[in-house]
């Protein structure tokens, strides 16, 4: 192939390479935008509330148990059991796997403002602590 013919092909290859790189960057940018949108799209949970959801990622009809009884075990509804939750009580909340707050089962304490899209165990009871 002559030099003149090669010179005409180089810009074509460069254009194809640029298009391929641009396509990859656009796809990556779209994926990153999607991740950012997910993090910002938190479900509402009224101030002073503990909002529990039957499915991961805050799906399903939320349960809002009482949060005014401090240091008292509050069993959550047995059906559905909660798999994601938000602590917006203004106080720390301990979430228990056991419906009677038995510490021999799984439990964890979450500070106010905590969003848990997938609990490591099914939540069956809570205890709200004073500040």
Whether residues 59 and 37 share a domain: the answer is no
Residues 18 and 59 in one domain: no
Same domain for 37 and 61? no
In the predicted model, what is the mean pLDDT of residues 46-74? 94
> Is there a single domain that holds both residue 30 and residue 69?
no
Q: Which pTM was predicted?
A: 0.68
23 with 59, same domain: the answer is no
Question: Are 70 and 36 found together in one domain?
Answer: no
Residues 59 and 121 in one domain: yes
Residue-level pLDDT at 62: 92
| pLDDT > 70 in the chain, percent | 69
Residues 124, 63 share a domain: yes
- pLDDT band for position 81 (cuts 50, 70, 90): confident
For residues 66 and 92, membership in a common domain is answered with: yes
Q: How confident is the model at residue 20 (pLDDT cuts 50, 70, 90)?
A: low
Select the highest-mean-pLDDT range: 13-27, 34-48, 79-93: 79-93
For position 3, what pLDDT does the model report? 56
Domain span including residue 36:
1-41
Instruction: Say yes or no: 73 and 123 in one domain.
Output: yes
Those residues whose C-beta lies under 8 Å from the C-beta of residue 66, and which sit 6 or more positions away, are 74
Is residue 37 over pLDDT 50?
no
Whether residue 74 sits in one domain with residue 15: no
Domain count for the chain, please give it: 2
């Amino acid at each position: 192939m002559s030099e003149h013919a090669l010179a005409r092909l180089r810009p074509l290859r460069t254009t194809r390479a640029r298009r391929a790189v641009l396509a990859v960057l656009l796809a990556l940018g779209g994926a990153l935008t999607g991740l950012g949108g997910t993090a910002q799209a938190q479900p509402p949970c009224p101030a002073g509330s503990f909002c529990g959801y039957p499915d991961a990622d805050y799906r399903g009809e939320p349960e809002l148990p009482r949060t005014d009884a401090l240091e008292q075990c509050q069993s959550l509804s047995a059906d559905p059991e909660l798999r994601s939750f938000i602590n917006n009580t203004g106080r720390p909340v301990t979430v228990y796997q056991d419906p009677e707050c038995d510490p021999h089962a799984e439990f964890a304490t979450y500070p106010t403002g905590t969003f848990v899209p997938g609990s490591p165990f099914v939540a069956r009871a809570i205890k709200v602590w004073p500040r």
